[in-house]
Amino acid sequence: MGRRLHGRGALFDTDPAGLAPRLVGLRPHQHRATPVEHPKELPFVLLTGGRGLGKSAVLGELRDAYKGHTPVASIDCEDVQFARPTGGRPLEAWSPVSQALLVVAEQLAEPVTGAGRITFPRLMSGLVAVAAGGWDDADSERIRREVERILLLNEGGSWVAGFAGRMAGRVTANVVSAVSGTGPLVASAIEATLESFSDSFVNRRQQRASAWWRAYPNAGADARRGLMLLSGHFRAGGTSREHAERYLVRALLADLTDAYAGMLPRMQRLGRPVVLVDNAHRAPGPGLVDAILRDRAEGIADQVVFVGGLRGTDRPVLRNAVRRTLAEVARRSDWVPDPASPSSRALLVALPPLNPDDTLHLVGAACAEVPVPPQLPYATHRLTGGNPLGIVHLADSAAQNLPGAASLGELLTADVRLDDDRDARPTYLELLDRLVPADRLDELTVLAAAHDHDSACALAEALLPDDFGPADVRALQTRLVAEGLVEAPGRFVGDSFVRTLLLLRLHHRDADHGQWRQAHETLIRYYAHAADDDDPARARYRLHHELALGRSESAVAYLRDSFPTLDIRVWLRSLRFIASAPYFHAHDAEGHDFAARDDRRAAIALGRTDAEQVVPQGGDAVLHLRIRRLLHAVWQLTDPLALPDPKVCDRLRFELEQLSNLRPAGNALLWRASRDWPEDALAGRPLRVPDDDEDEPDGEA
């Protein structure tokens, strides 16, 4: 695998063979055959998951592993060339699918080891017929450009290449001349194209291809009529265009099948052709996927390995797709389609996050020349949740900014240069560009502080434009789920890494952190109005946001006063959630920064400020100060942007031990927490509440 691709061996392993070599029939980066898993019918493999999980990286590795060994084509459906036609071509004669087929065929045509170019006479004829539908008002130069590009799909790379090139030029001239005349334009273009196949020099394979369009529905065994109908259906749009596009896809696959037919091609061509479709949820992806799945379901076989990247997992057209985890396909996929369901021809493979060891290797590779704090890799894994994009960008920032940066927060706000031809930018902005929808970045920046639909609506009403209402909040929440971001009760943005990045952007939107304060003040008012302090499932939301503004007094008082009576498991969860408040170094009363590295939590947790505290009159001073130290210890140790402090871990253990002596009924839970929590914090794991069968998310009661 590539230098920076980890945790994906199930796809690329050679001994035993991973999924890719079992489908392609070739070992990656080698011209050595390997047995295929599905000799008759192939699944359309779609790698699924949210943004940043490495789908594009995997497809890039597949391209590099097989390019030059077997025909390979790669497209990104988010590329601008699939968004709109260029060069004056009208929409009625262009679609993302037709453009994708042209681009794919151009790449598949390239010679590979041991075999020459592949020609695409069927597809070439169909694309000329489609393009001709947009030549009504075209100048001859534009027609020439379009025709020449399409005709090159039928140019072989043999010893007659010079003749073939001259023939393509002659056909181009004939087409331009024909459509410039007085006859029917589309018919003239099709006639001139088909005449090129009647040349005495054209081999029988191409002559067979010229007859392929006779089988188009209602063509009456007339190729010219078939292409005329194709052009008309394409121009009609809607389902008629989808029908025409399906036949264009079929033409591409028929040309590929023909290229592998016969004894000599089978000996020359080791491995199946590979087509990679990144961001397959965007056009032309759905059209390509649907056409291929439907044809395969109808028994129209091909031997092309299609692998795509799909953001999210729940697409209605794929409801019956076979679903597997990456680990489940490492040795065999056990894919068996349902004859009655075209979508079962798809195999959805979920890409998992990377594990801590993968993170360690990625950080180590990027920072080979830089001393790295020993806790940095595991803190990076805790922050990113194993998101490969996040790990790689943070590793790049560490390589460029260590030893100057002292925390993950500083690595995120520090500038990073990802490419030589790009200016350096803050790391967190580079990540947000890739991890969240660009058109909703501003709204998500504000709503990241919310916990559910209602609190998000409160924030939207206070801080977002008037035209962004409850329906827009719900639509945005639905979109996040559709794009593969995890849901978590108690968090509007469920993915903790993305949420942290959005909150970091909210904090840095203005010099005095005004919007940051407004967002949390809004939620403090919302929960103060809606909640009763005696309800632990509600009161802690308000205390969480007060703590985010640096105000810890109410949280300490609540935890102190509820400690003797509240169920210890609920109390520990409350402590954990309140202390999960985001922290971005200290500010003065006006919200301005004291200093970039002024983190007072460790000093408070270690008791260095106890002497300055005024204990509430009549209260238990020892318990009050112990709770205050404990709150700040958990706050510091669970901060995803800070490296856990071993001294604070020791203090956390001590404070929980002492509290266990004060609650005989909860002694066992507090004692176990005193052992588990410091260990979890140092290992970069979430703090576990003892005896929870399924540890509840921080936002739940």
Instruction: Give the model's pLDDT for residue 679.
Output: 94
- pLDDT averaged per 10 residues in sequence order, the chain, 701 residues: 74 94 95 92 96 96 96 97 92 97 97 89 94 82 87 69 53 70 74 71 65 95 95 97 98 94 70 97 96 96 96 85 96 94 96 95 93 91 96 96 90 92 93 96 98 97 96 96 90 96 95 92 88 66 95 94 93 96 70 59 94 84 96 96 93 96 88 95 88 49 36
Cα gap 355→57, rounded to integer Å = 17
Q: For residue 114, which of 31, 33, 22 has the smallest C-alpha distance?
A: 31
Is residue 322 left, alpha or beta, with left meaning phi > 0 and alpha meaning psi from -120 to 50?
A: beta
Instruction: Give the model's pLDDT for residue 6.
Output: 87
CA 468 to chain CA centroid, Å, is 26
Instruction: Give the model's pLDDT for residue 697.
Output: 43
Cα gap 259→257, rounded to integer Å = 5
What is the DSSP secondary structure assignment for residue 353, as one 8-state letter? P
Instruction: Give the model's pLDDT for residue 585.
Output: 65
Instruction: Give the model's pLDDT for residue 209.
Output: 77
Question: For residues 58 and 8, is the Cβ–Cβ distance under 8 A?
Answer: yes
Instruction: Give the model's pLDDT for residue 699.
Output: 47
Question: For residues 296 and 322, is the Cβ–Cβ distance under 8 A?
Answer: no
In the chain the first and final C-alpha atoms are separated, in Å, by: 44
CA 573 to chain CA centroid, Å, is 32
pTM of the model: 0.91
Q: Is the dihedral of CA 311, 313, 317, 322 positive or negative?
A: positive
Instruction: Give the model's pLDDT for residue 422.
Output: 84
Beta bridge partners of 593: 587
| Buried-exposed string 321-333: b where 16+ CB fall within 10 A, e elsewhere | bbebebeebbeeb
Instruction: Give the model's pLDDT for residue 659.
Output: 96
Sorted by sequence, the CB contacts under 8 Å of residue 606 that are 6+ apart come out as 629, 647, 648, 651
Cα gap 112→509, rounded to integer Å = 52
